[in-house]
């Protein structure tokens, strides 16, 4: 058995974005520090029970928001979730809206990504092992329905489907870029979720993006002037809503999985087992162990 193996400690993983740095509703919270073969995650994981379900919470940018989107060690974050036994990841993110109808304060549950990030480490493979997973449908369809239904039940205005454009940042778009992105037909823009989704798929977990619209990026010519206070108020309201949503949805999404996410690596690993080094097999054991002799 690999020295990386630990007993499953959580079934659902929650990644908090801007403004969501902790989950007050977690019962019996305990903080743990995890290391991975890919380095250290964004910070300590908070384990606890949410509505009786064992969950693991991680603040994507660090608990004090010290990491740029480009500085986040996405591989470590997702690998650590896998090690904890997580099967489903609910990823909360503040985004800019690229469509008139996705108003600030609305929730988007995208079903696609368009990745414009540059050179991020967004695969667990390489250095002796090659695998190509399908990303045709990067969001777990089951998880998306549960989350969208629940968000509506608790009073949210939800936009189902659509594309999340993932940009490198940290600067926001120029108006020229924003106009081009609008031409792509995307719904929202953010800086982190496409990278997460790729790694989550390789690790055979389910992923859903809960995109909370904070503003209209810079393409929108508004009649009323937008103040910083207005944006901050939207952010605060969105964070409160996301906490309520997470608490309401965990029980519904917990249970056996019937989606394809759990077998994403089946037939995806190209390199034969005998060509892999022992140390490589050991390193990736939580992810490839079940396919490797
Ligand atoms: Zn799934």
Q: How far, in Å, from the CA of 263 to the mean position of ligand 1? A: 9
Q: How far, in Å, from the CA of 138 to the mean position of ligand 1? A: 9
Q: How far, in Å, from the CA of 114 to the mean position of ligand 1? A: 20
Which residues have a Cβ under 8 Å from the Cβ of 210 and sit 6 or more positions away? 90, 91, 92, 93, 107, 109, 147, 151, 242, 245
Q: How far, in Å, from the CA of 256 to the mean position of ligand 1? A: 10
Q: How far, in Å, from the CA of 135 to the mean position of ligand 1? A: 12
CA angle 17, 22, 24 (to 5 degrees): 140
Q: How far apart are CA 139 and CA 161, in angstroms?
A: 10
pLDDT at 3: 46
Q: How far, in Å, from the CA of 85 to the mean position of ligand 1? A: 15
Q: How far is CA 143 from CA 61, 203, 205, 211, in A?
A: 24, 16, 11, 14
By annotation, the residues acting in catalysis are 215, 217
By residue count, the chain amounts to: 293
Residues 186, 98: contact at Cβ < 8 Å? Answer: yes
Q: How far, in Å, from the CA of 289 to the mean position of ligand 1? A: 20
Q: How far, in Å, from the CA of 201 to the mean position of ligand 1? A: 9
pLDDT at 259: 96
Domains of the chain are 12-291 (3.40.50.1580)
Give me the residues of the chain with pLDDT under 70, please. 1-7, 223, 225
């Amino acid at each position: 058995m690999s020295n990386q193996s630990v007993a499953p400690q959580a079934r659902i993983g929650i990644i908090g974005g801007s403004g969501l740095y902790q989950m007050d509703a977690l019962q019996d919270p305990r903080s743990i520090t995890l290391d991975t073969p890919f380095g250290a995650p964004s910070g300590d994981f908070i384990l606890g029970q949410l509505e009786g379900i064992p969950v693991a919470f991680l603040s994507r940018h660090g608990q004090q928001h010290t990491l740029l989107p480009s500085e986040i060690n996405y591989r470590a974050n997702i690998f650590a979730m896998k090690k904890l036994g997580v099967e489903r990841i609910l990823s909360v993110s503040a985004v800019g809206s690229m469509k008139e109808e996705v108003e600030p304060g609305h929730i988007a549950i995208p079903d696609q990504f368009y990745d414009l990030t540059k050179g991020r480490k967004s695969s667990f493979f390489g250095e002796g092992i090659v695998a190509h997973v399908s990303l045709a449908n990067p969001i777990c369809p089951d998880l998306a329905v549960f989350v969208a239904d629940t968000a509506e039940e608790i009073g949210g205005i939800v936009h189902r489907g659509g594309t999340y454009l993932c940009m490198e940042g940290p600067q926001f778009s120029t108006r020229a870029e924003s106009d081009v992105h609008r031409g792509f037909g995307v719904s929202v823009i953010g800086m982190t979720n496409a990278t997460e989704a790729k790694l989550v798929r390789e690790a055979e977990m389910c992923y859903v993006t809960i995109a909370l619209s904070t503003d209209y990026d810079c393409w929108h010519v508004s009649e009323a002037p937008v103040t910083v206070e207005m944006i901050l108020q939207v952010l605060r309201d969105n964070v409160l809503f996301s906490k309520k949503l997470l608490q309401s949805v965990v029980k519904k999404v917990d249970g056996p999985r019937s989606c394809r996410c759990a077998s994403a690596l089946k037939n995806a690993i190209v390199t034969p087992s005998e060509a892999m080094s022992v140390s490589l097999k050991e390193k990736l054991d939580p992810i490839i162990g079940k396919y490797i002799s």
